[in-house]
């Protein structure tokens, strides 16, 4: 396909234009069904109208607030996906633009590892965790060997295909270069060095190894460590406290060792993804069909859940049509029947909310720390009367219903789950028009394989609507950190300027003191020189006087000596004369 022509969003640059296809995606793809929701918008199952290929489409809007930032995020993710060529990373099939929305087309996966926990309401078996971890490690080793960092590894971003292949997905937070220093990721899975990166430096691919260790605990305990804690408090605990460990003693030493190895606090001590591939936990022998069997069991469980929900919705609509709103005792009985069926089929009626945001399986109770656009999913607008009529066509509601190919999800699953806190059935007994439309969808759903129940998709959509506060909080936290960093830099610059000013002032004072001291020293030297000169002159005068005295004395002594000699000469002369005479 040829690249798109110039459109709003920066496609005047040929480099950007070549990233997108020019075709109208609404003509290329049909049978769109929402299968997940995240902070960026929605993910859909779809079919290529020309090749009949099944794909997943991630829609991301670049309209509204922060348009430039949203567009840059789309460009970044598309460029990243284009580079991926590995069996354990999601296969990218192209990107289209339509009405200020980017359609990222990828291979379709059944769901995520997080969906397995949601459906079965219990931890995975150790051999299943090992198989999923091994596939994720292969994908991470590929990324790290190309200096890429995923930065959002968690169960919700590890997808499964029909043949049981493990795929890394959701590269919206990924870094195309290593090392990196952005504060990006999902709080409970975030490595300590990512939390501290803005203050203390950079990090490398080993942050994904930490996140993989947390994901192992998530698969073994149905939730990551600190999940009952506020996200901000969890970030503080991750950065300051000791590493988490597996709580139960039922796991093997190899599994416990693997998790502890992944969660070494100091990055230099933590192994690389390539080194972890040699660990006993992922290398030991396991059944070749372990993931295929797990997927099949999950499909069966999804079939039961969807049947239960369909029957309930049909009974509610039938009651509304013929007998008015269902009484409290009737609804309690209905709720009890459904709960009992769930208990029998799944073994537990308590759910731990999913905490993932992925390409093929979008649970969004905890969103990634990434400023990506919100794309509101389209609401169904069915005619109220026709929906009611089609849903209550028969006088008698059958006790069981087996829709065609029940291993399916549905288009816009907008019914409300009983276990969700946001709706009180006791105060609002009348089904909404949305619920009637959803019951209609159960009858007319399209066929596609999935391990995500319709109720889970609905819950994710409602959770997404309730998550704006957390996203705003996390965005606010990032803004506060950036602002704090700017303030620190400004304060450092101010202090540096003040230090330079004080240094110059002290230097000037020192120079002044030095000059004054030098002048005083010169004065003292001159004074000392004058005094010394005087003393030298005095000494010279005294010396001269002393020499004169000595010379006078010597002269006197010499004169006396000569006088004595003369006297002796005269005496000798007189004696000679006397002798001669």
CA dihedral 414, 417, 421, 427 (to 10 degrees): 90
Pick from 116, 45, 20: which is nearest to 360 by CA? 45
Residues counted in the chain: 581
Backbone φ and ψ of 307, nearest 5°: -65, -45
Give the integer Cα–Cα distance in Å for 370 and 401.
43
| C-beta atoms surrounding 333 within 10 Å | 12
Q: Is 314 within any annotated ligand binding site?
A: no
Give the integer Cα–Cα distance in Å for 44 and 55.
8
152 is catalytic: yes
Tokens encoding 58 = 């991630």
Helix (H, G, I), strand (E, B) or coil at 55: strand
In DSSP terms, which residues pair with 36 in a beta bridge?
Answer: 43
Radius of gyration of the chain (CA): 45
CB distance 313 to 185 below 8 Å: no
- Measured in whole angstroms, the distance separating CA 176 from the mean position of its chain's CA atoms is 14
CB distance 153 to 211 below 8 Å: yes
Helix (H, G, I), strand (E, B) or coil at 99: coil
The angle that helices 468-580 and 192-200 make with each other, rounded to 10 degrees, is 50
CB distance 392 to 316 below 8 Å: no
| Catalytic residue of the set 31, 99, 115, 152 | 152
Pick from 251, 214, 304, 246: which is nearest to 128 by CA? 251
Q: What is the DSSP letter of 415?
A: P
Using CB atoms within 10 A of its CB, is residue 422 exposed (0-12), middle (13-18) or buried (19+)?
exposed
Tokens encoding 261 = 């190895």
Q: Taking the alpha carbons of 169, 174, 179, 184 in that order, is the dihedral positive or negative?
A: negative
Using CB atoms within 10 A of its CB, is residue 462 exposed (0-12), middle (13-18) or buried (19+)?
middle
Give the integer Cα–Cα distance in Å for 384 and 436.
7
End-to-end CA distance of the chain: 168
Which string of DSSP letters, residue by residue, matches 231-267? Answer: HHHHHHHHHHSPPP----S-S-HHHHHHHHHHT-SST
Residue set of the binding site? 59
Residue set of the binding site for ATP? 59
Catalytic sites, residue numbers: 152
């Amino acid at each position: 396909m040829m690249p798109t022509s110039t459109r709003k969003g920066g496609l005047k640059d040929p480099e950007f234009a070549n990233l997108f296809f020019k075709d109208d995606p609404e003509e290329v793809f049909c049978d769109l069904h929402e299968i997940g929701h995240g902070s960026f918008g929605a993910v859909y199952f779809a079919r290529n109208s020309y090749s009949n290929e099944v794909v997943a489409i991630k829609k991301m809007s670049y309209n509204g607030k922060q348009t430039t930032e949203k567009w840059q995020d789309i460009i970044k993710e598309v460029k990243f996906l284009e580079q991926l060529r590995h069996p354990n990373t999601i296969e990218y099939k192209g990107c289209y633009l339509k009405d200020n929305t980017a359609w990222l087309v990828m291979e379709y996966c059944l769901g995520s590892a997080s969906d397995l926990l949601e459906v079965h309401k219990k931890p995975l078996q150790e051999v299943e965790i090992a198989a999923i971890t091994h596939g994720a490690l292969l994908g991470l080793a590929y990324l790290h060997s190309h200096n890429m960092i995923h930065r959002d590894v968690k169960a919700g971003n590890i997808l499964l295909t029909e043949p049981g292949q493990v795929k890394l997905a959701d590269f919206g937070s990924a870094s195309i270069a290593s090392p990196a220093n952005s504060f990006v990721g999902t709080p409970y899975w975030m490595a300590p060095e990512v939390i501290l990166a803005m203050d203390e430096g950079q990090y490398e691919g080993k942050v994904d190894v930490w996140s993989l260790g947390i994901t192992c605990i998530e698969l073994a305990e149905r939730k990551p460590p600190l999940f009952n804690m506020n996200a901000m408090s969890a970030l503080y605990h991750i950065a300051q406290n000791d590493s988490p460990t597996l709580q139960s003693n039922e796991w093997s030493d190899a599994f416990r060792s693997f998790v502890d190895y992944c969660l070494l606090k100091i990055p230099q001590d933590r192994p690389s993804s390539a080194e972890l591939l040699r660990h006993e936990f992922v290398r030991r022998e396991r059944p070749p069909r372990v993931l295929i069997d797990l997927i099949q069991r999950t499909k069966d469980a999804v079939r039961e859940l969807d049947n239960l929900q369909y029957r309930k919705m049909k009974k509610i609509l039938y009651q509304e049509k013929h007998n008015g709103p269902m009484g409290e005792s009737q609804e309690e009985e209905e709720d009890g029947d459904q709960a009992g069926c769930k208990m029998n089929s799944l073994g537990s009626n308590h759910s731990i909310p999913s905490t993932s945001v992925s390409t093929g399986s979008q649970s969004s109770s905890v969103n990634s720390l990434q400023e990506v656009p919100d794309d509101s999913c389209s609401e169904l607008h069915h005619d109220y009367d026709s929906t009611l009529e089609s849903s209550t066509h028969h006088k008698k509601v059958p006790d069981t219903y087996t829709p065609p190919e029940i291993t399916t999800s549905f288009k816009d699953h907008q019914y409300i789950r009983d276990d969700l806190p946001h709706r009180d059935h006791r105060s609002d007994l009348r089904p909404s028009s949305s619920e009637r439309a959803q019951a209609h969808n159960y009858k007319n759903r399209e066929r596609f394989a999935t391990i995500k129940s319709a109720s889970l998709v609905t819950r994710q959509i409602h959770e997404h609507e309730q998550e704006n506060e957390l996203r705003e909080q996390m965005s606010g936290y990032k803004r506060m950190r950036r602002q704090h960093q700017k303030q620190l830099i400004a304060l450092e610059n101010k202090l540096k300027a003040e230090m330079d000013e004080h240094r110059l002032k002290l230097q000037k004072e020192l120079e002044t003191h030095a000059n004054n001291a030098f002048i005083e020293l010169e004065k003292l030297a001159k004074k000392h020189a004058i005094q010394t000169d005087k003393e030298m002159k005095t000494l010279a005068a005294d010396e001269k006087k002393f020499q004169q005295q000595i010379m006078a004395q010597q002269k006197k002594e010499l004169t006396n000596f000569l006088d004595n000699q003369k006297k002796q000469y005269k005496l000798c002369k007189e004696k000679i004369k006397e002798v001669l005479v």
